[in-house]
Structures are given as C-alpha cells and as structure tokens.
Structure 1
C-alpha cells in the first residue's frame, strides 16, 4: 500500500552552509501551535542541509547522563578477563571488545577495526515472532560487578524512547504528515543503545593507517540521539565535501537521522557521513565515553519514499535493510 500523500511542506530555509544548528525544543514542548511549527521548520531545514542538529530543552536530566557515563567507566575499567564474560558481537547485547567492528565497511570503505569498546543494550520485549525476536529483541545482559548500571540503563532507555518518539512527531509535522505517521510504525520498534569507550592513545598505541575510533559511515535507522563529550579525537561530520568538527554545547544532544528516514523522505533529508577521529598524539591521555541511542521502527515496517524529496527508493522491509548493514560492519 502506498504511503499517504503529505500536505505540501514548505521548502526548508537552510541554515548556513557547513553549519550544524542548535535548536531549543522548549517551544515545542511548552509553546503554542505557532511555536511548534517554527521548531518543525527549523528541524526540517537542518535535516535537509546537513542531517545533524543539536537540541536543548529536551528534558533529560544531566545527572542521569552523568551517572550512566560514570557507571559505564567503572565497567570498562574492569580487567579484560572479567569483561570477557559478557562478550558479544555486533547486533548482540553485552560487551563488544576491540576488533569486532569496522563501521567504514557499511559504506564500502575498508578500514582497520574501530578503536573502541562498546557496552550494548536495547529493545528486549519479544514480539512472539521468533525470526524477529532472535535478532531484534534479545535479552539484555548486565554486569554483576557494576550492579548500578542496570537500573540506570533501564531508566535511560525509557527516556531515550520517549525523546525519540517525540523527534519522530516533530519530523512528521515538518513534512505536513499526521503526527503519528512515523510513531504508528514504531509501536514495537527495534533500538540499540551503545555506550562507546574510546580509550586513550596511551592505552591503544599508535593507530594503524586509516584507523579511527569509528570509521566513516552513515547511521542505519530513523533517528540517533548522541550524548557526547568534546575531545581532540572527537566527532566529525562530512559537510560540503569536507570533514568538519561537530559542534558541542553543554546539556545538549547531538541528533542525526539514519538511512531509513532518508529513504522515507526521498532524500529530502540527509543521512550524513560522520566519523570519530583516532586518539591524537597531542592528547595521549584523552579518553571519551559516548552514549548513543539508535532508534529504528517496527522490524516488519515497510519503508516507502514519500513524495517530498528528489529520490524514489523501492520499498524495503526495515529488518532486511538493517540486517544487511549490521553484517557489513561486523569483523
């Protein structure tokens, strides 16, 4: 069945070339209809121009994010043999040790494995369909050595799911669609949260040629919500043919969209390339921890291009597309 035609959204007024704007969500949550339309237009412009934005006024407590990060650092500081009890690979739950992931392969760029460790959790309530449950709704695994991590992550996932759904409502408003156009296709969605530890140069040694903390790639799903720390070996975004350092603002989230949402909008919105630089010799003791929530949609949802962009993609089943991408980055 073809998707409904949206009402005609305005052509976005793009932010300055090469910029990643900061958008305050306070008017969306607490303003009138005019305020909400203005926020939707700002989001439309940012996603059309660069595919990235920073959001403030999101309502997620800074203390919660700080507590999750601190507990995660206690886990990553455990001996290798202890962390190995929770070892997993891409798409699974638990500890992804060094060497199991190379994100550059998702776009066909061969790179050495990414210089990071990851602790991954995600959607864990089964649908009752084994072929989907065994891939997208695995049971989460929590380390007994850091017992506080489980309740913190359960609370954080709840906050991220709520914020991601609200972002999809804003996206629908930006395109002149019914508020629930995207969220109605995310009633039982797949999602993953990666806590990425980027060890210091003094820990990992000199990077191989072409090796990154995360190699160049686009995200795969609908929206990504990133709580990051600034650093010399930090996030870069590909803008106007150049890699630029992503801006940072206190108490903000960095938001970008993934391939599925770009396809849904017929490339009106950009699923943009990004990467995390390797540790820098000028900051040999720099270590960073990022909290990354990758939101998708119902695994069985059909993603079909809306008549709002310049491209028309054939319909794709979300689960099929996402699985292909996850297999590509698995070392």
Structure 2
C-alpha cells in the first residue's frame, strides 16, 4: 500500500540526483504518518550490535540482579524498571540512560548550573557490562547523526533551506531500551492488549532500532487505522516528534505509535530521543507560520525536560511509586512471576 510506512534509502534520498519519486514518498510519509524507516543510514552494524548485545545480556539477568539496577532515588527515567498491567502481568521492562551521568559531568560539558540540575539523579551503569557506557555513547552519537540527516532531508522535501531544522551543537538526548515480553495470555484483538499505549513522542525526532519476530510496533494513519512497522535488521525507524510538528506549524504530522502483544520471543527496541538544546524555545518557523495566527504555542525545551518526571508520575504513577519518589528511594513494581 502506498500509504504504509516506507523504507527510504537515506543516502540516495540525500544525494544531489535523488529521484523525485523518492523525495515525494518521503514528503508524503512525513506529512501524513510521521514515521519512516531508513536503510543505508551510515550507522555501522557493530555500533548497533555492541549496544544491543550488551543490553540484551543485562535484561536477560535474573530479576533479583536487575532490581539492583533500579534508580537509587526512585527516578523513573534512570536505570532499570518494569511495569505491570492492572492484573500484575509484566508488560514492559525498560532501561533509561540520561545524556550525562551527573551534574558534574553536565557542567563540564557546558551546561549552566540550573540546567545541570536535570542530572542530579545519576545514571545507573550495570557492573556486569563494563563496556556498556562507551557502547551507549557511540550508539547515541550515531543516531543523533541520523536525526540530523533526516531533518536535512525533511527540509529538502519541504523546499526550505537545509539548515531550517538545525539542532545546534548542544543537542539534548535521552536513550531508552524497551524489552517487551512474550505474551502467553489470550488476547482477542490488538486493542485488548497493548504493551505500550498509543502516543507521539515529545522530541524533535526519535530514532529507533527494533528486534524481534513480530511487527509489534504500529503507526497510526490519519484516519485512525494502524499499520505495522516491519522488522528489518538493517533499518532504523524515525518518528516525528511534537517539537518538529510545532516548528512546521502542523505541516509535519507527529508519528503516533503503539506496541501490541504477540510473538514467540522477547521483542526489544532501543530509541534515542533527540531535541535541540535546553535553551531552545520551539515555535512555528517563519517558513511555515500562518500569517493569521497559529494553534501552536511556544515550547521551552528546558521547561518540558525539567517537568517531565512530575508530569509522568501525575499521569501514570501508582501510589507506591509516588511514595518512593517523594522519599528518594528505589522503586521496583511487583509483577506476577
């Protein structure tokens, strides 16, 4: 189907002699789905494998060992955590890595003391994998490069200058590894068992790699129907986030997506969420702004990042998780064994 999520040869699309049909496919997907797959993206196989293999070993550890990798202060976006559905069944394990390990590293990288407070809750690095920190940095840097190149491509297909969607030198990122379990319970339909609820990311773009034996990741068409994102080991998925939608005054649709249960093995995805620097205020750019006004309000990247945890816990936090956060202690959700 022409409206399904396209696979784009990124190098070919960025070439001076890129076929018009290819560029038209990119533009159509960006405007209607907000999701593309890219191949020939330039990320070395060993960079992806080094990161994924390390985290596969971590997430395959016995649960008692993984519990020691939870945030010591109960931060929901640091280290390992798991969450159950309303029946106590495990839906998802997640490992979160912030851009900097602590406030000292953030300030050394040039962040202001105020912005560095975003990292007062430290990263948790598994001692079982001493090379994982370096592998994560390589992975993140390579995916940020893909994000920049895709933004250049989007500028091209929208006929605006190549640097229109510049992230700047102080790009803000987070890295997330998701582990979706095999689902042995009966489900009559996708809607009856979602392992990750439908949403659009709050990034500029999100770059993801997925592994598994079923296309559990789905993207949403404008009419509300869903289409699977095929698993290709050589492909990366790129999702338009709400910041890019804001920049384009709604021209580029945010990539709404969800994850459904299924498959005979654990499904894993690893994402890098890419934003401009924390000092940035995102508002419709002049090339896209409607002279009659816009429905999009300016968004402060700093204010959104600084309020992220409280907003998450307000919407999704359970009483025992909120208590752990307020008391600055580890939280591990109980699940059915």
Matched length: 298
Q: Which residue of 2 aligns with 1:16?
A: 2
Whole-Å separation in 2 of the counterparts to 1:304 and 1:257 = 16
Q: Residue by residue, what CA displacement relative to the aligned partner does 1:111-153 show, whole Å, maximum 9, x if unpaired?
A: 9998111112242252332332222686543111122322221
Unaligned 5+ segments in structure 2 are 318-337
Structure 1 residue 193 and structure 2 residue 179: aligned?
A: no
Residues 172-321 of structure 1 correspond to what in structure 2 (within 5 A)?
172-183=155-166, 185-201=167-183, 212-232=194-214, 234-239=216-221, 240-278=223-261, 280=262, 283=263, 285-306=264-285, 307-308=287-288, 311-321=294-304
Residues 318/292 of structure 1: CA separation in 2 closer, same or farther (3 Å cut): same
Q: Which residue of 2 aligns with 1:95?
A: 80
Q: Residue by residue, what CA displacement relative to the aligned partner does 1:177-235 show, whole Å, maximum 9, x if unpaired?
A: 3333322x432121111111112235xx678x955321111111111111112444710
Whole-Å separation in 1 of the counterparts to 2:163 and 2:41 = 19
Whole-Å separation in 1 of the counterparts to 2:123 and 2:20 = 38
Instruction: Report deviation, 1:252.
Output: 0.8
Instruction: Report deviation, 1:53.
Output: 0.8
Maintained 8 Å contact 1:51/1:269: yes
Secondary structure of the structure 2 residue equivalent to 1:144? coil
Maintained 8 Å contact 1:115/1:198: yes
Structure 1 residue 118 and structure 2 residue 94: aligned?
A: yes
Instruction: Report deviation, 1:74.
Output: 1.0
Maintained 8 Å contact 1:224/1:295: yes
Whole-Å separation in 2 of the counterparts to 1:111 and 1:129 = 44
Whole-Å separation in 2 of the counterparts to 1:128 and 1:113 = 41
Whole-Å separation in 1 of the counterparts to 2:53 and 2:37 = 23
What RMSD over aligned residues (CA atoms) do the two structures have, in Å? 3.2
Secondary structure of the structure 1 residue equivalent to 2:68? helix
Maintained 8 Å contact 2:212/2:265: no
